[in-house]
Chains A and B, each alone.
Chain A
Amino acid sequence: MGLVVLLIGTRKGLMIARSTDDRHTWEVDDFQFLNQEVYSVALDTRHDRPRILAGVGTGHWGPLLTYSDDLGKSWTEPEEPPIGFPQGSDASVARVWQIQPATDRQPDVVYAGVEPHALFRSDDRGQSFALVEGLWKHPDRPSWVPGGGGACLHTVLPHPTDPDDLLVVMSAAGVYHTRDGGATWHPANRGIQVANAPEEQRFPEFGQCVHKVAFHPDRPQRLFAQNHFGVYRSEDRGDSWSPIESGLPSNFGFAMVAHPHRPDTLYSFPLQADAERFPPDAKLRVYRTEDAGSSWEPLSNGLPTDPYYAAVLRDAMVADSGDPAGIYFGTRLGEVYASRDDGDSWSLIASHLPDILSVRVAEVA
Protein backbone atom coordinates (compact mmCIF):
# COMPACT_ATOMS: atom_id res chain seq x y z
CA MET A 1 0.00 0.00 0.00
CA GLY A 2 1.06 3.61 -0.47
CA LEU A 3 0.56 6.28 2.15
CA VAL A 4 -1.90 5.03 4.76
CA VAL A 5 -3.41 7.65 7.06
CA LEU A 6 -4.93 6.70 10.39
CA LEU A 7 -7.13 9.20 12.21
CA ILE A 8 -7.44 8.74 15.96
CA GLY A 9 -10.15 10.84 17.59
CA THR A 10 -9.89 10.98 21.36
CA ARG A 11 -11.62 12.58 24.30
CA LYS A 12 -9.04 15.35 24.21
CA GLY A 13 -8.00 15.80 20.63
CA LEU A 14 -7.10 14.28 17.28
CA MET A 15 -3.95 12.38 16.42
CA ILE A 16 -2.97 11.48 12.87
CA ALA A 17 -0.63 8.58 12.14
CA ARG A 18 0.94 7.82 8.76
CA SER A 19 2.59 4.76 7.32
CA THR A 20 4.54 4.61 4.06
CA ASP A 21 5.95 1.09 4.37
CA ASP A 22 2.86 -1.04 3.92
CA ARG A 23 1.75 -0.46 7.51
CA HIS A 24 4.90 -1.82 9.17
CA THR A 25 5.75 1.42 11.00
CA TRP A 26 3.80 4.55 11.83
CA GLU A 27 4.74 8.16 12.34
CA VAL A 28 2.47 10.08 14.64
CA ASP A 29 1.75 13.81 14.29
CA ASP A 30 1.36 16.24 17.15
CA PHE A 31 -1.98 16.29 18.89
CA GLN A 32 -4.61 18.64 17.45
CA PHE A 33 -7.81 20.16 18.89
CA LEU A 34 -6.31 20.08 22.36
CA ASN A 35 -8.72 19.22 25.14
CA GLN A 36 -11.58 18.91 22.67
CA GLU A 37 -13.42 15.65 22.10
CA VAL A 38 -13.30 14.23 18.57
CA TYR A 39 -16.32 11.96 18.36
CA SER A 40 -16.32 11.62 14.60
CA VAL A 41 -13.72 11.69 11.87
CA ALA A 42 -13.79 10.77 8.21
CA LEU A 43 -11.24 10.56 5.44
CA ASP A 44 -12.89 11.25 2.10
CA THR A 45 -10.74 9.90 -0.73
CA ARG A 46 -13.26 10.28 -3.56
CA HIS A 47 -11.47 13.29 -5.04
CA ASP A 48 -7.85 13.81 -6.08
CA ARG A 49 -7.18 15.74 -2.92
CA PRO A 50 -8.34 13.77 0.12
CA ARG A 51 -10.35 15.62 2.73
CA ILE A 52 -10.38 14.94 6.45
CA LEU A 53 -13.59 15.91 8.22
CA ALA A 54 -13.85 16.09 11.99
CA GLY A 55 -16.74 16.50 14.39
CA VAL A 56 -15.23 18.25 17.36
CA GLY A 57 -16.86 19.00 20.66
CA THR A 58 -15.38 22.19 22.03
CA GLY A 59 -16.84 21.78 25.50
CA HIS A 60 -18.22 25.14 26.54
CA TRP A 61 -18.35 26.53 23.04
CA GLY A 62 -20.53 24.00 21.24
CA PRO A 63 -19.90 21.49 18.46
CA LEU A 64 -17.71 22.14 15.46
CA LEU A 65 -17.60 20.47 12.08
CA THR A 66 -14.38 21.28 10.29
CA TYR A 67 -12.27 19.92 7.46
CA SER A 68 -8.72 19.76 6.20
CA ASP A 69 -7.57 19.43 2.59
CA ASP A 70 -3.90 18.98 3.47
CA LEU A 71 -4.14 15.88 5.67
CA GLY A 72 -4.41 17.81 8.90
CA LYS A 73 -1.83 20.54 8.46
CA SER A 74 -4.55 23.20 8.46
CA TRP A 75 -8.28 23.23 9.07
CA THR A 76 -11.15 25.20 7.60
CA GLU A 77 -14.22 26.29 9.47
CA PRO A 78 -16.76 27.80 7.07
CA GLU A 79 -17.97 31.32 7.73
CA GLU A 80 -21.54 30.09 7.72
CA PRO A 81 -22.27 27.42 10.33
CA PRO A 82 -21.81 24.18 8.39
CA ILE A 83 -24.43 22.28 10.34
CA GLY A 84 -27.44 23.28 12.39
CA PHE A 85 -31.15 22.79 12.78
CA PRO A 86 -33.43 25.22 10.96
CA GLN A 87 -34.50 28.28 12.90
CA GLY A 88 -37.70 27.64 14.76
CA SER A 89 -37.15 23.90 15.09
CA ASP A 90 -36.28 24.39 18.77
CA ALA A 91 -33.38 21.96 18.41
CA SER A 92 -29.66 22.52 18.36
CA VAL A 93 -26.82 20.19 17.46
CA ALA A 94 -25.22 18.92 20.63
CA ARG A 95 -22.65 16.61 19.06
CA VAL A 96 -21.65 15.28 15.63
CA TRP A 97 -21.50 11.51 16.10
CA GLN A 98 -20.85 10.36 12.59
CA ILE A 99 -19.46 11.73 9.33
CA GLN A 100 -19.99 9.41 6.40
CA PRO A 101 -19.03 10.17 2.81
CA ALA A 102 -21.48 8.66 0.32
CA THR A 103 -20.32 6.32 -2.43
CA ASP A 104 -18.28 7.18 -5.51
CA ARG A 105 -21.54 7.65 -7.41
CA GLN A 106 -22.22 10.74 -5.33
CA PRO A 107 -18.74 12.16 -4.93
CA ASP A 108 -19.83 15.43 -3.29
CA VAL A 109 -22.35 13.94 -0.85
CA VAL A 110 -21.45 13.57 2.81
CA TYR A 111 -23.81 12.56 5.59
CA ALA A 112 -23.61 13.56 9.24
CA GLY A 113 -25.42 11.92 12.13
CA VAL A 114 -25.92 14.10 15.17
CA GLU A 115 -27.36 14.38 18.62
CA PRO A 116 -30.28 14.83 19.04
CA HIS A 117 -31.34 12.03 16.66
CA ALA A 118 -31.06 13.58 13.21
CA LEU A 119 -29.40 13.11 9.85
CA PHE A 120 -27.87 15.90 7.79
CA ARG A 121 -26.76 15.79 4.17
CA SER A 122 -24.10 17.82 2.43
CA ASP A 123 -23.88 18.16 -1.34
CA ASP A 124 -20.63 20.13 -1.29
CA ARG A 125 -18.24 17.69 0.35
CA GLY A 126 -19.09 18.74 3.89
CA GLN A 127 -18.91 22.51 3.72
CA SER A 128 -22.63 22.92 4.40
CA PHE A 129 -25.28 20.48 5.54
CA ALA A 130 -29.07 20.42 5.36
CA LEU A 131 -31.38 18.55 7.70
CA VAL A 132 -32.96 15.42 6.23
CA GLU A 133 -36.50 16.41 7.01
CA GLY A 134 -38.07 13.03 6.30
CA LEU A 135 -36.33 11.45 9.25
CA TRP A 136 -36.65 14.48 11.51
CA LYS A 137 -40.42 14.54 10.99
CA HIS A 138 -40.85 10.80 11.34
CA PRO A 139 -43.91 10.01 13.46
CA ASP A 140 -41.86 7.64 15.64
CA ARG A 141 -39.43 10.37 16.68
CA PRO A 142 -41.26 11.55 19.81
CA SER A 143 -40.91 7.99 21.13
CA TRP A 144 -37.19 7.65 20.49
CA VAL A 145 -35.19 7.77 23.70
CA PRO A 146 -31.51 8.47 24.34
CA GLY A 147 -29.02 5.68 24.71
CA GLY A 148 -26.47 5.80 27.49
CA GLY A 149 -24.25 8.06 25.39
CA GLY A 150 -27.03 10.38 24.31
CA ALA A 151 -29.80 10.66 21.73
CA CYS A 152 -27.43 9.92 18.92
CA LEU A 153 -27.66 8.99 15.27
CA HIS A 154 -24.31 7.24 15.24
CA THR A 155 -24.18 5.18 12.05
CA VAL A 156 -24.95 6.01 8.41
CA LEU A 157 -24.73 3.28 5.76
CA PRO A 158 -25.23 4.33 2.14
CA HIS A 159 -26.08 1.56 -0.30
CA PRO A 160 -23.05 0.92 -2.54
CA THR A 161 -24.97 1.26 -5.83
CA ASP A 162 -28.40 2.79 -5.09
CA PRO A 163 -28.10 6.40 -3.92
CA ASP A 164 -31.73 6.41 -2.76
CA ASP A 165 -31.11 3.54 -0.35
CA LEU A 166 -29.71 4.51 3.03
CA LEU A 167 -29.68 3.02 6.51
CA VAL A 168 -29.18 4.89 9.74
CA VAL A 169 -28.76 3.56 13.26
CA MET A 170 -29.79 5.42 16.39
CA SER A 171 -29.54 4.77 20.10
CA ALA A 172 -32.06 3.94 21.34
CA ALA A 173 -34.36 3.91 18.36
CA GLY A 174 -32.71 1.22 16.26
CA VAL A 175 -32.22 0.83 12.53
CA TYR A 176 -34.21 2.94 10.06
CA HIS A 177 -34.19 2.48 6.29
CA THR A 178 -35.10 4.71 3.39
CA ARG A 179 -35.43 3.63 -0.24
CA ASP A 180 -36.39 7.03 -1.61
CA GLY A 181 -33.41 9.18 -0.77
CA GLY A 182 -34.57 10.10 2.72
CA ALA A 183 -38.12 11.24 2.03
CA THR A 184 -39.67 8.34 3.94
CA TRP A 185 -38.19 5.94 6.46
CA HIS A 186 -39.29 2.72 8.08
CA PRO A 187 -37.89 0.92 11.13
CA ALA A 188 -35.85 -2.18 10.32
CA ASN A 189 -35.50 -3.99 13.63
CA ARG A 190 -37.65 -7.10 13.34
CA GLY A 191 -35.97 -9.88 15.32
CA ILE A 192 -33.71 -7.61 17.39
CA GLN A 193 -34.54 -7.72 21.06
CA VAL A 194 -34.81 -5.12 23.79
CA ALA A 195 -33.35 -7.38 26.45
CA ASN A 196 -34.49 -5.47 29.50
CA ALA A 197 -38.11 -5.00 28.41
CA PRO A 198 -40.96 -7.13 29.77
CA GLU A 199 -41.03 -10.42 27.91
CA GLU A 200 -44.08 -9.65 25.81
CA GLN A 201 -42.53 -6.35 24.70
CA ARG A 202 -39.03 -7.52 23.79
CA PHE A 203 -39.41 -7.24 20.04
CA PRO A 204 -40.93 -3.83 19.32
CA GLU A 205 -40.95 -2.25 15.89
CA PHE A 206 -38.40 0.31 17.11
CA GLY A 207 -36.70 1.34 20.34
CA GLN A 208 -33.78 -1.09 20.19
CA CYS A 209 -30.38 0.20 21.21
CA VAL A 210 -28.44 -1.02 18.20
CA HIS A 211 -24.83 -0.02 18.74
CA LYS A 212 -23.39 -0.60 15.27
CA VAL A 213 -24.28 -2.08 11.90
CA ALA A 214 -21.78 -3.18 9.25
CA PHE A 215 -21.97 -4.75 5.81
CA HIS A 216 -19.77 -5.64 2.88
CA PRO A 217 -20.36 -3.60 -0.29
CA ASP A 218 -20.57 -6.73 -2.43
CA ARG A 219 -23.43 -8.00 -0.26
CA PRO A 220 -25.55 -4.96 0.63
CA GLN A 221 -28.54 -7.13 1.48
CA ARG A 222 -26.60 -8.79 4.28
CA LEU A 223 -26.17 -6.70 7.41
CA PHE A 224 -24.52 -7.43 10.73
CA ALA A 225 -25.62 -5.70 13.93
CA GLN A 226 -24.17 -5.37 17.39
CA ASN A 227 -27.07 -4.65 19.68
CA HIS A 228 -27.23 -3.77 23.36
CA PHE A 229 -27.25 -7.51 24.16
CA GLY A 230 -27.40 -9.40 20.89
CA VAL A 231 -25.41 -9.92 17.71
CA TYR A 232 -27.47 -10.34 14.56
CA ARG A 233 -27.40 -10.90 10.83
CA SER A 234 -29.95 -9.82 8.26
CA GLU A 235 -30.11 -11.24 4.75
CA ASP A 236 -32.76 -8.81 3.54
CA ARG A 237 -31.22 -5.41 4.32
CA GLY A 238 -32.80 -5.13 7.72
CA ASP A 239 -36.29 -6.42 7.09
CA SER A 240 -35.56 -9.27 9.51
CA TRP A 241 -32.71 -10.28 11.78
CA SER A 242 -31.42 -13.55 13.27
CA PRO A 243 -28.96 -14.08 16.15
CA ILE A 244 -25.36 -15.03 15.32
CA GLU A 245 -23.88 -14.72 18.80
CA SER A 246 -23.23 -18.41 19.44
CA GLY A 247 -19.50 -18.78 19.93
CA LEU A 248 -18.92 -15.31 21.25
CA PRO A 249 -18.04 -14.90 24.95
CA SER A 250 -20.70 -12.20 25.29
CA ASN A 251 -23.45 -10.74 23.16
CA PHE A 252 -22.76 -7.20 24.40
CA GLY A 253 -20.40 -4.76 22.74
CA PHE A 254 -20.17 -1.76 20.48
CA ALA A 255 -17.76 -2.16 17.58
CA MET A 256 -18.46 -4.22 14.48
CA VAL A 257 -16.36 -4.15 11.30
CA ALA A 258 -16.72 -5.92 7.98
CA HIS A 259 -13.68 -7.24 6.13
CA PRO A 260 -12.98 -5.11 3.05
CA HIS A 261 -12.75 -8.06 0.64
CA ARG A 262 -14.45 -11.10 2.15
CA PRO A 263 -18.19 -10.74 2.71
CA ASP A 264 -18.31 -13.61 5.21
CA THR A 265 -15.64 -12.12 7.46
CA LEU A 266 -16.55 -9.81 10.31
CA TYR A 267 -14.82 -8.48 13.41
CA SER A 268 -16.36 -7.90 16.83
CA PHE A 269 -15.07 -6.65 20.15
CA PRO A 270 -17.32 -8.19 22.83
CA LEU A 271 -17.66 -6.71 26.28
CA GLN A 272 -18.74 -8.62 29.35
CA ALA A 273 -22.11 -6.88 29.82
CA ASP A 274 -23.69 -3.46 29.93
CA ALA A 275 -22.97 -3.24 33.64
CA GLU A 276 -19.46 -4.68 33.15
CA ARG A 277 -17.99 -2.94 30.16
CA PHE A 278 -14.72 -4.85 30.19
CA PRO A 279 -13.36 -7.42 27.78
CA PRO A 280 -14.69 -10.82 28.85
CA ASP A 281 -12.41 -12.34 31.49
CA ALA A 282 -10.34 -9.15 31.19
CA LYS A 283 -8.67 -10.57 28.06
CA LEU A 284 -8.04 -8.09 25.27
CA ARG A 285 -9.30 -9.97 22.23
CA VAL A 286 -10.91 -9.26 18.91
CA TYR A 287 -13.30 -11.91 17.64
CA ARG A 288 -13.50 -12.86 13.98
CA THR A 289 -15.97 -14.90 12.02
CA GLU A 290 -15.17 -16.15 8.54
CA ASP A 291 -18.53 -17.78 7.96
CA ALA A 292 -20.89 -14.83 8.47
CA GLY A 293 -21.40 -15.49 12.16
CA SER A 294 -21.82 -19.27 12.29
CA SER A 295 -18.60 -19.52 14.29
CA TRP A 296 -16.17 -17.13 15.96
CA GLU A 297 -12.51 -17.25 16.91
CA PRO A 298 -10.59 -15.05 19.33
CA LEU A 299 -7.64 -13.09 17.97
CA SER A 300 -4.99 -12.15 20.50
CA ASN A 301 -1.58 -12.79 18.97
CA GLY A 302 0.47 -9.75 19.98
CA LEU A 303 -2.15 -8.24 22.26
CA PRO A 304 -1.42 -7.75 25.99
CA THR A 305 -1.74 -10.85 28.12
CA ASP A 306 -2.16 -8.97 31.39
CA PRO A 307 -5.74 -8.31 32.51
CA TYR A 308 -7.19 -5.49 30.42
CA TYR A 309 -10.15 -3.48 31.63
CA ALA A 310 -10.77 -0.95 28.87
CA ALA A 311 -13.57 -1.07 26.30
CA VAL A 312 -13.52 -0.32 22.59
CA LEU A 313 -16.23 2.12 21.53
CA ARG A 314 -18.48 1.78 18.50
CA ASP A 315 -16.43 3.88 16.10
CA ALA A 316 -13.02 2.94 17.42
CA MET A 317 -12.46 -0.15 15.28
CA VAL A 318 -12.00 -0.06 11.50
CA ALA A 319 -10.52 -1.91 8.54
CA ASP A 320 -8.43 -0.49 5.73
CA SER A 321 -8.65 -1.52 2.07
CA GLY A 322 -5.53 -3.69 2.01
CA ASP A 323 -5.40 -7.38 1.19
CA PRO A 324 -4.63 -8.80 3.64
CA ALA A 325 -6.62 -6.22 5.48
CA GLY A 326 -5.38 -3.90 8.16
CA ILE A 327 -7.61 -3.93 11.23
CA TYR A 328 -7.26 -1.18 13.82
CA PHE A 329 -8.81 -0.50 17.18
CA GLY A 330 -8.36 2.09 19.90
CA THR A 331 -9.24 1.49 23.51
CA ARG A 332 -10.51 3.70 26.26
CA LEU A 333 -7.09 3.25 27.81
CA GLY A 334 -5.65 5.33 24.98
CA GLU A 335 -3.91 2.55 23.09
CA VAL A 336 -4.16 1.82 19.38
CA TYR A 337 -3.48 -1.68 18.09
CA ALA A 338 -3.11 -2.61 14.45
CA SER A 339 -3.02 -5.79 12.46
CA ARG A 340 -1.75 -5.96 8.87
CA ASP A 341 -2.73 -9.58 8.34
CA ASP A 342 -6.51 -9.74 8.72
CA GLY A 343 -6.25 -9.83 12.52
CA ASP A 344 -3.93 -12.81 12.80
CA SER A 345 -1.35 -10.72 14.67
CA TRP A 346 -1.34 -7.33 16.32
CA SER A 347 1.06 -4.61 17.38
CA LEU A 348 0.76 -1.47 19.45
CA ILE A 349 1.15 1.65 17.31
CA ALA A 350 0.17 4.43 19.74
CA SER A 351 -0.25 4.60 23.49
CA HIS A 352 -0.74 6.92 26.45
CA LEU A 353 -3.45 8.83 24.63
CA PRO A 354 -6.75 10.00 26.11
CA ASP A 355 -9.57 7.51 25.71
CA ILE A 356 -10.24 6.83 22.07
CA LEU A 357 -13.62 7.67 20.56
CA SER A 358 -13.18 7.25 16.83
CA VAL A 359 -10.70 5.68 14.42
CA ARG A 360 -10.69 5.89 10.64
CA VAL A 361 -8.14 4.82 8.06
CA ALA A 362 -7.58 5.13 4.33
CA GLU A 363 -4.90 4.78 1.73
CA VAL A 364 -4.31 8.09 0.00
CA ALA A 365 -2.49 8.72 -3.23
Chain B
Amino acid sequence: MTSRLLLPAALRRYAGEEAEVNIRGGTLGEALDDLAERLPQLERRLRDEQGRLRPHVLMFVDGVSVRGGAPMDTPVGDGAEVFVAPAVSGGRC
Protein backbone atom coordinates (compact mmCIF):
# COMPACT_ATOMS: atom_id res chain seq x y z
CA MET B 1 0.00 0.00 0.00
CA THR B 2 1.36 3.44 -0.87
CA SER B 3 -0.24 6.55 0.53
CA ARG B 4 0.55 10.27 0.49
CA LEU B 5 1.71 12.05 3.61
CA LEU B 6 0.73 15.73 3.32
CA LEU B 7 2.96 18.01 5.34
CA PRO B 8 2.49 21.43 6.91
CA ALA B 9 5.04 24.09 5.98
CA ALA B 10 6.89 23.71 9.27
CA LEU B 11 7.86 20.12 8.48
CA ARG B 12 8.78 20.36 4.82
CA ARG B 13 12.43 21.12 5.56
CA TYR B 14 12.72 17.52 6.77
CA ALA B 15 11.36 16.24 3.47
CA GLY B 16 13.59 18.11 1.07
CA GLU B 17 11.11 21.02 1.01
CA GLU B 18 8.46 18.76 -0.51
CA ALA B 19 4.83 19.28 0.51
CA GLU B 20 4.14 15.56 0.44
CA VAL B 21 5.98 12.28 0.50
CA ASN B 22 4.91 8.74 -0.27
CA ILE B 23 4.76 6.27 2.59
CA ARG B 24 4.22 2.54 2.44
CA GLY B 25 2.25 0.32 4.80
CA GLY B 26 -1.18 -1.07 5.46
CA THR B 27 -1.61 0.76 8.76
CA LEU B 28 -0.56 4.18 9.91
CA GLY B 29 2.03 2.58 12.19
CA GLU B 30 3.56 0.59 9.33
CA ALA B 31 3.56 3.65 7.12
CA LEU B 32 5.35 5.74 9.73
CA ASP B 33 7.82 2.91 10.34
CA ASP B 34 8.57 3.13 6.63
CA LEU B 35 8.96 6.88 6.94
CA ALA B 36 11.40 6.40 9.84
CA GLU B 37 13.64 4.35 7.56
CA ARG B 38 13.86 7.05 4.93
CA LEU B 39 13.24 10.35 6.72
CA PRO B 40 13.93 9.76 10.41
CA GLN B 41 14.07 13.43 11.33
CA LEU B 42 10.57 13.91 9.95
CA GLU B 43 9.18 10.80 11.59
CA ARG B 44 10.49 11.70 15.04
CA ARG B 45 8.57 14.96 14.88
CA LEU B 46 5.34 13.04 14.49
CA ARG B 47 5.92 10.23 17.01
CA ASP B 48 7.87 9.90 20.24
CA GLU B 49 10.49 7.23 20.86
CA GLN B 50 7.78 4.78 21.92
CA GLY B 51 6.03 5.13 18.59
CA ARG B 52 3.16 7.21 19.98
CA LEU B 53 1.69 10.15 18.16
CA ARG B 54 3.01 13.33 19.79
CA PRO B 55 0.36 15.01 21.93
CA HIS B 56 -0.03 18.13 19.81
CA VAL B 57 0.17 16.51 16.38
CA LEU B 58 -3.01 15.92 14.43
CA MET B 59 -3.27 13.28 11.71
CA PHE B 60 -6.17 12.53 9.42
CA VAL B 61 -6.47 9.56 7.07
CA ASP B 62 -8.73 10.48 4.18
CA GLY B 63 -10.17 13.26 6.30
CA VAL B 64 -10.83 11.22 9.43
CA SER B 65 -8.88 11.99 12.60
CA VAL B 66 -6.85 9.09 13.94
CA ARG B 67 -7.09 10.36 17.53
CA GLY B 68 -8.63 8.06 20.11
CA GLY B 69 -8.27 4.32 20.35
CA ALA B 70 -5.12 3.03 18.70
CA PRO B 71 -3.99 5.60 16.10
CA MET B 72 -1.16 3.47 14.78
CA ASP B 73 -3.58 0.66 13.90
CA THR B 74 -5.57 2.93 11.59
CA PRO B 75 -5.84 1.26 8.15
CA VAL B 76 -4.23 3.22 5.34
CA GLY B 77 -5.49 2.24 1.90
CA ASP B 78 -3.62 2.48 -1.36
CA GLY B 79 -3.61 6.12 -2.49
CA ALA B 80 -4.92 7.40 0.84
CA GLU B 81 -4.16 10.93 1.98
CA VAL B 82 -2.53 11.16 5.39
CA PHE B 83 -2.80 14.78 6.45
CA VAL B 84 -0.58 16.20 9.20
CA ALA B 85 -1.28 19.40 11.11
CA PRO B 86 -0.15 21.06 14.32
CA ALA B 87 -2.96 21.18 16.84
CA VAL B 88 -4.18 24.62 17.85
CA SER B 89 -3.11 23.51 21.31
CA GLY B 90 0.56 23.20 22.14
CA GLY B 91 1.73 26.62 21.09
CA ARG B 92 2.99 29.36 23.35
CA CYS B 93 2.86 33.13 23.14
Nearest CB on A from B87, distance (A): 7
Interface residue? A222 (CB, 8 A): no
Interface residue? A352 (CB, 8 A): no
Q: Tell me whether A61 and B40 are in contact (CB under 8 A).
A: no
Q: Tell me whether A60 and B50 are in contact (CB under 8 A).
A: no
Which of A11, A61, A81, A87 contacts B54 (CB under 8 A)?
A61
A residues near B65, Cβ cutoff 8 Å: none
Interface residue? A149 (CB, 8 A): no
Q: Is the interface of A mostly helix, strand, loop or mixed?
A: loop
Q: Tell me whether A62 and B40 are in contact (CB under 8 A).
A: no
Measured in the bound complex, the distance between the Cα atoms of B57 and A11 in whole Å is 20
Interface residue? A306 (CB, 8 A): no
Q: Tell me whether B92 and A37 are in contact (CB under 8 A).
A: yes
Q: Tell me whether B50 and A58 are in contact (CB under 8 A).
A: no
B interface, size bucket: 20 to 34
Q: Tell me whether A59 and B45 are in contact (CB under 8 A).
A: no
Measured in the bound complex, the distance between the Cα atoms of B65 and A9 in whole Å is 35
Which of B10, B11, B40 contacts A81 (CB under 8 A)?
B40
Q: Tell me whether B40 and A80 are in contact (CB under 8 A).
A: yes
Interface residue? B90 (CB, 8 A): yes
By beta carbon, the residue of chain A nearest B57 is A60
Q: Mark interface residues in A68-96 (1 if CB within 8 Å of B CB, else 0).
A: 00000000010111001101111111000
Interface residue? B77 (CB, 8 A): no
Q: Tell me whether A84 and B92 are in contact (CB under 8 A).
A: no
Interface residue? B26 (CB, 8 A): no
By beta carbon, the residue of chain A nearest B39 is A79
